[in-house]
Structure 1
Amino acid sequence: MKRLLPFLMLTLFLLSLTANGQRPSKNEDSSIPTNFNDATKSKDKNGIKNYSEIITKDAITDTGLFSVHKIKEEYFYEIPFNKLKKEMLWVSRISQLPQGLGGGYFNAGSKTNEQVVQWTRFQNKILLKVKSYANVADSTKAIHNSVVVNNYEPTLFAFDIKAFNTDSTAVVINVTPLFNTDVMAISGLSARLRKEYKVKKLESSLSFINGIKSFPENIEVKQDLTYSASEPPSFSDMESISLQMNQSMILLPKEPMRPRTYDSRVGFFTVSQYDYGSKELKADQKTYIRRWRLEPKDSVAYANGELVEPIKPIVYYLDPGTPENLREYIKQGIEEWQKPFETAGFKNAILAKDAPTAEEDPEFSPEDVRYSVVRYVASTTRNATGPSVSDPRSGEIIESDIIWYHNHLRSYRNRYLLETGAANPSARTLNTPESEIGEMMRMVIAHEVGHALGFPHNMAASYAYPVDSLRNGAFTQENGIAASIMDYARYNYVAQPEDENIRFIRQIGPYDHYATNWGYRVIPSAATKEMEKDTLNHWIRKHELDPKYKFGRQSSRFDPQSQTESIGNDPIIAGDYGLSNLKFVAQNLKSWTSDQTNDYGDLEELYEELLSVYSRYVGHVVTNIGGVYENLKTPDQEGYVFTHVSPEVQKSSMVWLQLNIFATPTWLIDKDILLNIDHAGYFEGLRKVQERHINGLLSFDRIGRMLDAETTEVSYYSALDMLKDLRTGLWSEMGRGSNVDIFRRNLQRTYLDRMAFLMMDNGPEKRYNGSDFESTFVFDVSTSDVHTLVRGELKTLRSRLQAAKNSSVNTITRYHYEDAIARIDQLLEPGK
C-alpha cells in the first residue's frame, strides 16, 4: 500500500492539471497541448515565447472571430483553440484595380477566388489548409476513407507558433508574411494575366497590409500589391501593376442548411459535389441551388397556406454615401422582391434599411459579414453587380453586396433615348426626368438583387411575349416587356410613335414569382431533400407549355429564344420595328443633343452607341441562321431538347440581313453628324459593324450546326444554301452590271478575308465545356465539308468576277474586281 500511495498521488496531480486546462472537444484539433503550463514557458526549445513578449503593450487589438493585434507594421492572429478545424470560407476580391485590367472584364468588387479553409495545428506550426467539397462521401461509409486519402488537401500557408495566450485557450501567429507574399491562391492576378502582362515578381517594398478588421463572424483584410510587369495594361512607363485586394474569411454555419437539388429547367446559381457514397455505379454529381436560408417563424401557419414572416429576413443596408435623391429608388428596387417572396409564402422576407449612424450602432461596418449592403461607388465605371457568398456544403447564401457604380445611369439614359425616343417623347432629351431615371435605377437594383438571391440571367423571358403585344399599352402596363426582370430586356424598342400608354421600362414578371416559389418555398411534407423532388417536378410540369415560365440559359448563344437585349418572339418583326424607330432617332439626334448643349461631345457618344444598338438588332436575326432552339426538359416530357430553326425562317433571315445590313444603310451616313464628330473614319465605322456579322455568319460553329442538320432533318437550310445566298447578295452588283460603291467594296473585301480564314484555319483545338456553360461544340474542321464548301464558293465567285470585270463598270469597280480575283487566286493556288 505504501508503494501505491506515491503513484496514486502523482496520478491525481496529473489529472488535476488536465482538469484545470481547456479540454479539446471531439471536433477540435487533437494536437492541442493538454498541459498548457508547459506550453507557455518564457521560451521553450521550439522558440515559443511568453504571450507578453509577443503581444506587447504597444499592440492595437481588434476583437472578433479572432483577436487581431497590430504591432508597428506587423499583424498577429490570436486563434482560439475552439476555432481550429472550423470550416471558413475565404473569398478574394479585387478592391481597386488599374484601368484596363483583364481587358475591361474586371472591376472593383470582382471575385478572383473562393475556397473553404481550416486552421489546424501540426506540432509547433499552425497550418492554413484548403478544404474541398468537390469530392465527398458519407463519413459512416467505408469509401469515406478512400475519398480522404485520394483527395489530400493542400496547405496554403504555414506559420510558426509565436505564443499561447495567458489562459492557454488560444494560439498566436504572425500573419504578416501571408499577406506580404505572392500567394497565387489569394492573388488578384491569375496565371493568364501574369503571362499576358509579363509579370516578373511581387515588389515587396511596394506591397503592404492596408488594414485588418475582425468581426464576430468574419475577418476582412485589405492588402496593397504591386507587381513588376513588362507590359502592364496601363501606366506602361511604370512597368508595374498595382491593385488592392480584399480578403474575406467567413465562419461557416455549424449546421449546414438543407440543400435543394438543382433542376436545369429553373434558373439558379449552383454549387456541386461528386458523391462517392452514391448507389450509382460512378461518382454521382450532386448539384444544389444557391439561396438564402428562409425559415418560417410559424411553421404551422405556413403549412396551412398563410403568409408568414421568416425567422431571419434578408436585409440590405444602404451605403451611407448614397446620394439622397436616389435612396428611395434603391430601397424600392430591393423590396420589389417582396411580392415574389409572398408567392413563396413569406411576408417581409426582404427589407431595405438605411445604415445606422455611429450613435445608433458604433459597431456597424459594411465589411461585417452580418450585413449585406448596397454600395454606391464613386467611379466612372458604367456597371452594377450583385455578387454573393455561399456555403459550398449546402448552397446557402451567407452575404451579398450589391455594387452600383455612379456613371451607370448615363448608360441607361443613352439607351433610353436611342431605343425609345421615337415612341417616347420624354426620352428625347439629355435631361431625362428624374422620376424616369429613378424607375430605371429601381429596376436595375431589382435585377442585381435577383442575382444576389441566386437567380442567373433568364434570356428566354424576353421571348415569352408576342412582338405585337409590346405595342399594346394595357398589356405592357400589366405584364411589362419580358416575363422576368432577370433578362437583358431593358427597354421596349418595339413600340411605335402612334402607340399609346406604353410601358417602356422592364419590371418584375411572372417567371420571377414562379422561380422564387420553386427555390424558396418550404415543403412541410418533405423531411429530406430527396423527398422534395416530386413536388418540385410537379411545379415545373404544371407550367411546361407556357413560355412565361421557360428558363433560357445565357450561354445558349445558338438559340434565338435566349438572346441578350432582345424582346418579342420574332427577331425579324422586332428588328423591323426597332430599325424604324432607330432611323427616326438618327434623323433627330443632332437636334436632341448638340443643338441643345452647343457641344458635340454627347452627339459623338450617342452616335457610337446608336451603331451598337443597330448591331444588336441585326445580331438577333443572325442567330436564326443555323439556329437551334433549346427547350430544357426531362425524358418524361414530350419532344426534343434541341430543335433546328425551320429552313423558311432561316431563308427569311438571310433576305432580311441582305436588306438591312449588307445593303449599305445610308440612313447611318449623315453629314450633319459625321462631319461634326471626327475628321476621318466614316466608312470604317460602318464596315466594322458589317464585319462583325459577316464573321458571325461565317463561323465554324454556325456552319457545323448547319451540316449537322443534314444528319437529322428531312428539310433543312443547308450550309451550301447559306453560303450561296450570302455570296449572291453580297456580290449582287455583278449580276446587274452596276458599279460598286465604297461601302460595298469594303464589305466584299471583308467577306474575302473571312473566307480566307475559313479556308486556311482548322478551328480551335479545344473548347471549354462545363455543366453551367453550353459551349459551341467541337468538330474536326479539316475532315468536314467546310473547306470544300469554301473552295467551291470561291471558284464560283472567281468565274463570275472574270466576266463582270469586263462589263461596263467604272474604273474603281474594275480595279476592285481584279483585286478580288488576285486574292482568290492566292487562296486557291498559293504557289502559283
Structure 2
Amino acid sequence: MKAQLHWQAAVLVMAVAAVSACAQTPVRQDTAPVAPVAAATPPASAASRPAPDPAAPKPFAEVIRGASRSDGLFPVWRKDEKVWLEVPKAMIGKPFLFTANIANSVGERGLYASQMGLSRMAEVRVIGRQFQLLALNTQFRAVSDQGSKRAIDQAFSPSLLGSGPVLSLEHPERGSVLVDAGFLLSDIPGYSTRLEMAYRLPFGVDRANSSFERVRADAKLSALTARIHFATPRIPAPPITPGAPGANPPTATPDPRSLFVDYVYSFLALPEAPMAPRNADPRLGHFAESFTDLGGDAKANPRTHYVKRWRLDKKDPAAAISEPVTPIVFWLDKNIPTRYRPTVQEGILEWNKAFERIGFKNAIVVKQQPDDADWDNMDAGHASIRWFVGADVGFAIGPSHADPRTGEILDADIGMSDVFARGSRRQFVDDVGRRSMPAADAAYFCEDAHLSAQESDFALELLEARDEIAPDSAAAEAFVLGAIKGTIMHEVGHVLGLKHNFRGSTTVTAAQLQDRTYTEANGISNSVMEYVPVNIAAKGEKQASYHRQALGPYDYWAIEYAYKPIAAGRESEELGKIAARSTEPQLAYGDDADAGGVAGADGMDPLSSRFDLGDNPLAWYRKRLQLSKELWARVQERPPVATDDPLRLRRSLMAGFGPLATVAELAAKYVGGMHTERDLPGPNARPAFRPVDPAKQREALQFLATGLFSADSFRFKPQVLSSVTVDYNEWERGGPADITTAAVRVQLAALDRLLSPGTANRLLDLPAYVPPAKRKNLISLNEVYETLQRAIWSELSTSADIDRIRRNLQREHIRRLQAMLTRGAPGMPADALSLLRFNATKLEAQLRSAVAKGGRSVESRAHLAESLGTLDEALRAKMQRS
C-alpha cells in the first residue's frame, strides 16, 4: 500500500485557511476572560447602565434549552439543525486523537466512499471567549530530556484545525462550557484540494447547505457525521486550442457544479496508560510512527521509529496460549453482499494462525454489523471492513489510525471495492467494460486489488478460452472467492501493521507453484503482503492454487516481531534474535522503495518487484508473454456466438495486453540492476549492494529484443480485427481495435527504463563494485545502448520492409534520442549523454545508407527519411542547458 493517502500531508497547511474561510459564526477578537459576577451594588440609572454585550456567553441551561444530550468524551447536544459540543474542564489541554474519515463521496477518480482520512493528536484550548482545536506537533519530541522538550515546544508550532466562540458560561456543577459544533462544517481534511486535482475546478464549501447527519458518543468517543456541500459557481468553457489544459468536470454527479461529501469526525480518548512502544527494525517491514527525537545530542541518528501495532495482552500471562484481554475486533460492513461475507471473514481470521504461534488464542474477532444498524462504522470506535462501489473503481486499502505517542493502533477501516466480484466477473460474463482508474488517482491507494483484478480479467479470459472454467459456474465462483480472500488477507495484514513485501514471491520454485498440496498449505509467495499475479499454468504444466490462500513464513515472522509478549528489560535482546533470522532464504523481504515507483527510488533490485512469480522472474516474464499469445490465438479461433455481447472480442484481445507493460518494465530492471540486502553491520553481513549477474542482464536484454520488441509477438488475423466492434450506445465509442498503440505502450515501459538516468548511473558504476580480476565479463552502458539500438533498428541491416508496430517503436526511440541530445535529461550522467551521441551518430550513418538504398514500401521509405532528418537535426543542434 502506498503511503496512506498521500494528499493529507500536502493539504494540512490549508486547514487553517479552510476553517477560517468557511466559518460563518461571528468570532470576537477580544480574548479577555469572562468576568466573574460582582457583588451587589447600588442600582445605576438607565442612562448610565452599559448596553448588554450580545456576544457574551449565556447561562449553560439557556443555550441548550430543549436540546437532547449524547454522553461522550465531549458530550454532544442537538436541537433541530443546531449542534453543540460540551467541553469538559478536564479535557482542556488534554491530548486526544482527532480523525476525519470519508463516509460518502463522489464515486470516481479516486474520490470514493469508505476511506480513512485525517488523523492528528489534538487538544482543546479555551482562551477567554474563544475555543480552539489544535493539532499538536508530534514530528519533533524529547523522549526523556524535559529541558529539550521546552526548547522543542518553542521551536515547532502546532496547527489550528478549527475555532469558534465559547457560547455559554460554565456549567454550575460540571464546570464545562458549550461551543457551536458548526466549526466542523468546513473543510478540515482539505478535501477541496483532492477535488481540484481530480477536476481542475475550484470547489469550495457551501456552509449554508452543509449539515450534521448523525451523532454517536460513548465514554471514550464523540463522533459527528457532517454532510459537506462543495460547489463551484460555474463550469468554464473548454479551451479554444485543442489539447490545451482545461477543466475536467465531474461525470458521476447529476450537476457537475454541486456535490456532497460526508466527513465522520471523531474525538477519541487516548489510552490513559500509554502502551510500551516497540522499535522498528529495517530487516523486516512494519509501518511505523516516526519522529525526530531531539532529547539530547548523544544519538547518532535522532530519527526514531515505533512499530504500529494493536495492544495485545494475555488474560493469563503464565499460560502458553491465552485469549487476549482485549481482542482486535473487525466489523463487517452491512453493505458487503451476503454471499461474500463468509469469505471475507475467512480472510480476516486466517491471521489468527500467526497469533496462535506466539501464544494468543482468538486474537482477532469478527462481528457483523446488523443490516438495520443506524450507526456508521467509519467512526473511530469500530475497526471495519467497508464495501463500496464507484464508476471507475478498482482497489482496496488498509489504513489505520494510531496513538502518535507509542504507535498503538486504535482504529482501522479497510476499504473494499466491488472490483473483487464485479470487476473480475463482469469481463467474464460479458458485462459492460471497466473504465480504468487514472494513474494519478491510483497513486493514493494500495494497488493490490486494482492490479489483481486486471490479472483476474486475463486469467478468466484464458481459462474460458481453454474451456476449463465456464461463465457463472461453481468453478468461476470459487475463482472469485479466492481473489477476495487473498486481497482481504493482504489488507488485513496492512492494518495489523505490516508493509508490502515485494521480494516474497522469489522464495517459491516453479515446481512448487505447480504443486497444489504445497500452495494450499504455504501459498504462492512467502507472504500475502506481496503483489502476485494469478498462478495460471502454461500448457503442459499442473495447475495448483490460483491465488494467495495461506499465510507465508514471512507473515508469521513479522507478526512475531510486532506482537510477541516479551518481558520488560529483555525486549532489545529478544527482538534482536527475531530480526537476525532475516538471512534465512524463506524470509526474504523488500518493500515499496526496493521495488521502485515511489519518490526517490526507481527500484534497482529485480528480485523486489510487483507482480512477478517464482524464484526465476525472467522465466515467469517469458511465460507470461506466451500466455498472452495463447489467449490471442484461442480467441481468434473462437467462433462467434449470436448471444455474445458485441464488446466481448475487444475485451478479450485487450486483456492480453494489460499486465504485459508491467512485465516489460520488470524485465528491464535486470539491466543495470543491483541486488540489495538489509543486513546490519557485522563479520557475517552480506554486501548491501551486489550487481546483478551479467549473464542475467544480457538474458533480459535478449528477451526484450526478441520478444516484446518484436512485431511478431502482436500478430492478429485481419478477419478478427475487422470483427472488433464498438459500443454504439455510447457517444465516445472509439474506432477499430488499436493494437499498434497497445503494443507500443508495452514496449515503451521497457524502453524508458533502459534509457533512464538510474540505469545509466548504475551501469557506469558497476566496475567500482567488482574486484579488478572479475571485471572482464561485466556488461557496460555502451553494450546496452548498442544492443538496444541494434534490436530496435534491426531492419537497417537487411532490405526487409518495416512493420507499423516497429515503425512506431523506432519513432519513439528517435524522439527520446532527440530530447536527450538537445535538452539533456535530469539526473542523466554526462558519460551517458556522450555514449548516446556516439551511438546516434552510427545510427545516422545507417539511416543514410538505408534511405539511399530504397527498395522498401513508401511508408517505410518516408519513415526512414523522417527519422534521418530528425536525428540529423538533433545531432547538429545546440544543447539547451538549464
With normalisation by structure 1, the TM-score equals 0.85
Partner in structure 1 of residue 495 of structure 2: 452
TM-aligned CA distance change 1:282 to 1:497, over 3 Å:
closer
Instruction: Provide the rounded CA distance (Å) in 2 between the counterparts of 1:466 and 1:136.
Output: 47
1:115 has 2:152 as partner: no
TM-aligned CA distance change 1:744 to 1:667, over 3 Å:
closer
1:537 has 2:576 as partner: yes
1:745 has 2:750 as partner: no
Q: Aligned partner of 1:353: which letter?
A: K
Contact 2:505 2:613 in 1 (8 A): yes
CA RMSD of aligned residues (A): 3.1
Q: CA deviation at 1:154?
A: 2.9
Partner in structure 1 of residue 249 of structure 2: 234
- Among 416, 421, 442, the alignment partner of 1:404 is 416
Q: CA deviation at 1:243?
A: 3.6
Partner in structure 1 of residue 179 of structure 2: 173
Partner in structure 2 of residue 790 of structure 1: 836
Instruction: Provide the rounded CA distance (Å) in 2 between the counterparts of 1:315 and 1:97.
Output: 26
Contact 2:145 2:296 in 1 (8 A): no
Q: CA deviation at 1:642?
A: 1.8
Q: CA deviation at 1:641?
A: 1.4
Q: CA deviation at 1:310?
A: 0.8
Counting only pairs closer than 5 Å after superposition, residues 102-501 of structure 1 correspond to structure 2 as 104-138=109-143, 141-163=146-168, 164-176=170-182, 178-183=183-188, 186-190=189-193, 193=196, 197-199=200-202, 201-218=204-221, 219-228=223-232, 232-235=247-250, 238=256, 243-278=261-296, 280=298, 284-301=302-319, 306-356=320-370, 365-380=376-391, 381-413=393-425, 415-416=455-456, 418-419=458-459, 428-431=469-472, 432-493=475-536, 495-500=537-542
TM-aligned CA distance change 1:241 to 1:670, over 3 Å:
farther
Q: CA deviation at 1:498?
A: 2.7
Q: Aligned partner of 1:520: which letter?
A: Y
TM-aligned CA distance change 1:809 to 1:601, over 3 Å:
closer
Q: CA deviation at 1:691?
A: 2.3
Instruction: Provide the rounded CA distance (Å) in 1 between the counterparts of 2:266 and 2:650.
Output: 42
- Among 838, 852, 856, the alignment partner of 1:809 is 856
1:583 has 2:592 as partner: no
- What residue ranges of structure 1 are gaps of 5+ in the alignment? 1-30, 765-778
TM-aligned CA distance change 1:468 to 1:659, over 3 Å:
farther
Q: Aligned partner of 1:383: which letter?
A: F
Q: Aligned partner of 1:511: which letter?
A: Y
TM-aligned CA distance change 1:110 to 1:752, over 3 Å:
farther
Q: Aligned partner of 2:589: which letter?
A: F
Contact 2:402 2:411 in 1 (8 A): yes
Q: CA deviation at 1:337?
A: 0.5
Partner in structure 2 of residue 629 of structure 1: 675
Partner in structure 2 of residue 48 of structure 1: 57
Instruction: Provide the rounded CA distance (Å) in 2 between the counterparts of 1:70 and 1:384.
Output: 36
- Among 541, 560, 585, the alignment partner of 1:547 is 585
TM-aligned CA distance change 1:119 to 1:207, over 3 Å:
same
Q: CA deviation at 1:354?
A: 2.1
Q: Aligned partner of 2:180: which letter?
A: N
Instruction: Provide the rounded CA distance (Å) in 2 between the counterparts of 1:786 and 1:262.
Output: 39
Instruction: Provide the rounded CA distance (Å) in 2 between the counterparts of 1:722 and 1:194.
Output: 39
Instruction: Provide the rounded CA distance (Å) in 2 between the counterparts of 1:395 and 1:246.
Output: 22
Contact 2:314 2:322 in 1 (8 A): yes
Instruction: Provide the rounded CA distance (Å) in 2 between the counterparts of 1:232 and 1:607.
Output: 33
Contact 2:225 2:262 in 1 (8 A): no
TM-aligned CA distance change 1:135 to 1:534, over 3 Å:
same
Counting only pairs closer than 5 Å after superposition, residues 493-572 of structure 1 correspond to structure 2 as 493=536, 495-500=537-542, 502-507=544-549, 508-524=551-567, 526-527=568-569, 531-541=570-580, 543-556=581-594, 557=596, 558=603, 559-572=605-618
TM-aligned CA distance change 1:491 to 1:643, over 3 Å:
same
SS at match of 2:191: coil
Partner in structure 1 of residue 28 of structure 2: none
Contact 1:61 1:68 in 2 (8 A): yes
Q: CA deviation at 1:134?
A: 1.1
Contact 2:822 2:877 in 1 (8 A): no
Instruction: Provide the rounded CA distance (Å) in 1 between the counterparts of 2:184 and 2:171.
Output: 23
SS at match of 2:146: coil
Q: Aligned partner of 1:129: which letter?
A: L
SS at match of 2:249: coil
Contact 1:420 1:492 in 2 (8 A): no
TM-aligned CA distance change 1:258 to 1:751, over 3 Å:
same
TM-aligned CA distance change 1:140 to 1:618, over 3 Å:
closer
Q: CA deviation at 1:518?
A: 1.3
Q: CA deviation at 1:501?
A: 5.4
Q: CA deviation at 1:284?
A: 1.3
TM-aligned CA distance change 1:56 to 1:604, over 3 Å:
farther
- State how many pairs are aligned: 764
TM-aligned CA distance change 1:138 to 1:389, over 3 Å:
closer
TM-aligned CA distance change 1:609 to 1:217, over 3 Å:
farther
Partner in structure 2 of residue 688 of structure 1: 745
Partner in structure 2 of residue 720 of structure 1: 782
SS at match of 1:393: coil
Instruction: Provide the rounded CA distance (Å) in 1 between the counterparts of 2:378 and 2:219.
Output: 11
Structure 1, 564-573 or 276-285: larger mean CA deviation: 276-285
TM-aligned CA distance change 1:605 to 1:90, over 3 Å:
farther
Instruction: Provide the rounded CA distance (Å) in 2 between the counterparts of 1:465 and 1:137.
Output: 45
Q: CA deviation at 1:749?
A: 0.3
SS at match of 1:806: helix
The structure, 1 or 2, with the larger RCO (C-alpha pairs under 8 Å, 6+ apart) is 2
Q: CA deviation at 1:374?
A: 1.6
- Among 687, 694, 697, the alignment partner of 1:647 is 694
Contact 2:92 2:124 in 1 (8 A): yes
TM-aligned CA distance change 1:191 to 1:801, over 3 Å:
same
TM-aligned CA distance change 1:596 to 1:254, over 3 Å:
farther
Structure 1, 656-665 or 63-72: larger mean CA deviation: 63-72
Q: CA deviation at 1:522?
A: 0.8
TM-aligned CA distance change 1:813 to 1:540, over 3 Å:
same
SS at match of 1:565: coil
Partner in structure 2 of residue 90 of structure 1: 98
Instruction: Provide the rounded CA distance (Å) in 1 between the counterparts of 2:562 and 2:642.
Output: 50
1:606-650 Cα offsets, whole Å, 9 max, x none, are 432320122222332111112122211211242221222122111
Partner in structure 1 of residue 619 of structure 2: 573
Q: Aligned partner of 1:603: which letter?
A: L
TM-aligned CA distance change 1:812 to 1:426, over 3 Å:
closer
Aligned residues with identical type, % of pairs? 23
SS at match of 2:593: coil
- What residue ranges of structure 2 are gaps of 5+ in the alignment? 1-30, 40-50, 237-245, 428-454, 597-602, 727-734
Structure 1, 128-137 or 377-386: larger mean CA deviation: 377-386
SS at match of 1:722: helix
Partner in structure 2 of residue 6 of structure 1: none
Contact 1:379 1:407 in 2 (8 A): no
Partner in structure 1 of residue 707 of structure 2: 660
